[in-house]
Amino acid sequence: MKILIINHFPLEGSGSGVYTKNLAKELTEIGHKVKVVFPENRKVPPEIFEMRPIMFMDDNTKDSEIDFNFPCFTSHPRSNTTFYQLDKKQMRDYIDIMVRVTQEEADKFEPDIIHAQHLWITPYAAQKTDLPYVATVHGTDLKGFKQD
């Protein structure tokens, strides 16, 4: 099976990121083809699964695709930006890049299913592809909903 996994966080520094990385590794090891889409602000080492980092801006980013650091629900070791701090343009830019990259990678990778992490923008991006998808709740998304 070909599985596209999309997340709001890098593969290190957050619970859902570590979960996504471990899930992608395990699925690959048992014979599935996996690609992961996730935000990042630095170069990432190769993995046994395919990756498509979306490059966000920080002090060390040379080739960013978006001009602010990746936002979080609460905190992350490499970003203090939260979704609640984004202005309307930044939020629109965030949604647009998540939807665009998810569609591009779905078109290239041709997954059988998309696994969206968090009940936030990733299920919306997955739904826009018209492919089957599932979503996993991690908790901070619900905490963020309550805060909002």
Please state the separation of Cα 117 from the chain's center in Å: 7
Specify the CATH number of the domain 2-147: 3.40.50.2000
5-43 pLDDT tens trace? 999 999 998 888 899 999 999 999 999 999 999 999 998
**Listed residue (3, 1, 7) closest to 116, CA to CA:** 7
The whole model's pTM is what? 0.91
Rounded CA separation 106/114 (Å): 8
Rounded CA separation 5/30 (Å): 16
User: Taking the domains of the chain in order of start, what are their residue ranges?
Assistant: 2-147
